[in-house]
Structure 1
């Protein structure tokens, strides 16, 4: 007896929108991003930043696979709904385990093993669901099977890494991440994309999630400190930084890139989706989380936490995370727009370079002054772009999506 269609899968229409279940799915990643920020902030060393970036990359692969799958079939219908909840549970447990992803804490289960197993479950559920979806599509089925090879290799390396420590462990993590990247890049372009609008919206929402974490970090950084004028000023400036990065992505770039994605089909569309969204949105998220770490430390300094004074400068890893994170986000924005539209945003490249060049000077300034300078530079970028490209901006933002 044939299985009723309603319990299997329901294809997404060309103009589908993000489902409430996908938004619910993203809430787990809010928690994961917060855990990474807190973990790096406890001991902000170069090694912690590298390992934090690796954890973010692994969590990204957990998320991004379901953005492709949820684009082909509705995430909240039939078997997909159950699969999404199973994946959510595994991601949530992995997020809880993030502080032990590299170094196991005394007692209980092995943190690195639990994290690796959760990663395997998330990826395995994704592949199984995609194989079920591609049952009547041999081309897509072949693509999924090729992808499964690199996914399996990456997962096995992470499991092996859980049995090691130190540099060897970090190198195995890097190999696992690179295996996924190379496998995805070389695995072919026979994926399916039902809705460019849905795909762009999913990735826009994950940028919102990451920016939300930067705002959460501002609040957490001073949660146990008495409110003061410096804290209020730093909070507003931190919000201005996050707001400027929001503006730089959503005001025009996101619209242009979505239309470029919708304006092509076949292998070219898959290449644009893979390169512009799957690959180039990761450095955006990593950069924003590094920024979150920097903001958290600035607010702590400004509020007088951990025996700091208002005049203390932010330096070392926290400053590198603040400035380098913003620069990474801006350059990823440039790459994203360039990859999909062929347009290079020179102003953004210049702003990223300016922030990095100013870093040696910022180490001598109070943390609040540093944040003021950074916020002013980003606000100036937004203002100059908005004024310089006013006519093009109006046409892009108010043109018909079907025009």
Structure 2
């Protein structure tokens, strides 16, 4: 009798509660994302303080690490109610770990004197964050042999990546950077080659909305970078013009994503089920949204530096060109984002839309031509190209509908 009562109690109060197809993003998930916002601002600030090619590479590695941390919890919250049962406590614990990691970002590669070792703290936090994610997934997979099997295939890559990251904490200089590259390569590749047949996407709408919110957050961070770039400078006409152009550029990228890409992605995800849906979600969202978001982070750095250039009263604000890493960040960020959106649309709809790749090809030469142009003119050129391309595309056609084969179908069946 007692055993029967316990069984009934377990069914009445499960440790996690499954998400429904119609479930929306919960307030706790939005709260969770705020820590991710802080981490992105830390990356931009660190790259700005260490403006070099190596600093840019390390910043992108940090974005990749943060993204892989965040996207795992996006999958988890699509499987269970994040604000119910044990998942709620797990989300808060993960937030605490991510916040400590974000605080340590300035010391992720170069340890500051005194205190704990920054590189080791980052590695330990990453391991704790991923291990907690794996544990919550394991609890959520009770009764689902397919998901349990997928977790077993996923675990070696997670352990291998975090082990290499811990080794990086004990290394120095270039060796530390290359160990980071290896760690992330192992983690990402292991997830891809582990297949998608056991993963579950219960709500296409929730999954697409969650990633759309992250895009908004990243774009918002680029707007914050505009303000931070001139916060201590007296307002001037160059600052007013550059700020307006920067906002127009961010608005153009927002329009391209939410005017066409977001709807196409959600429709394609909702049109398939099971293994095909999981594969599409992995490819289009977990993988292709990384360069999409990383491009925005680079753009934020470029905008920050551009505003500093045009607002500096000690320099020739209207004639000095944007140079070096700052120019590469501005142009490279836009090109990376536009190409990532084009790839996302191809993977979800099976169509290769020409507007965004053509815009990327027009923007790319500015990385060379910009060395001979005033910074304000460079910003105006890339902003006009982006906004005109997006405007023409939006006017010429409606949001793309899926063609039925959801892009490259083969990876979805891995």
Same fold per superposition (TM over 0.5): yes
Instruction: Tell me by how many angstroms 1:15 deviates.
Output: 1.2
Instruction: Tell me by how many angstroms 1:188 deviates.
Output: 2.1
Q: What is the aligned partner in structure 2 of residue 272 from structure 1?
A: 280
Instruction: Tell me by how many angstroms 1:307 deviates.
Output: 5.1
Which residue of the other structure, out of 28, 49, 65, is the alignment partner of 1:42? 49
- Where do 1:140-155 residues align within 5 Å? 140-155=147-162
- Where do 1:2-401 residues align within 5 Å? 4=10, 5-6=12-13, 8-189=15-196, 190-304=198-312, 309-389=317-397, 392-393=398-399
> How many Å separate the matches in 1 of 2:54 and 2:77?
35
Gaps of 5+ in 2: 1-5, 402-414
> How many Å separate the matches in 2 of 1:204 and 1:111?
32
Q: For residues 304-351 of structure 1, what are the alpha-carbon distances to aligned partners after superposition, in whole Å with 9 as ceiling and x for unaligned?
A: 167563321101110010001100000000100001111111121111
Paired residues of 1:72 and 1:194 also in contact (CA < 8 A):
yes
TM norm structure 2: 0.93
> How many Å separate the matches in 2 of 1:162 and 1:79?
32
**SS class of match (1:251):** helix
Paired residues of 1:218 and 1:295 also in contact (CA < 8 A):
yes
> How many Å separate the matches in 1 of 2:292 and 2:260?
16
> How many Å separate the matches in 1 of 2:74 and 2:82?
9
TM norm structure 1: 0.95
Paired residues of 1:215 and 1:242 also in contact (CA < 8 A):
yes
> How many Å separate the matches in 1 of 2:290 and 2:52?
21
Gaps of 5+ in 1: 397-403
> How many Å separate the matches in 2 of 1:56 and 1:317?
17
- RMSD over aligned CA atoms reads 1.4
> How many Å separate the matches in 1 of 2:211 and 2:188?
18
Paired residues of 2:238 and 2:317 also in contact (CA < 8 A):
no
> How many Å separate the matches in 2 of 1:334 and 1:131?
35
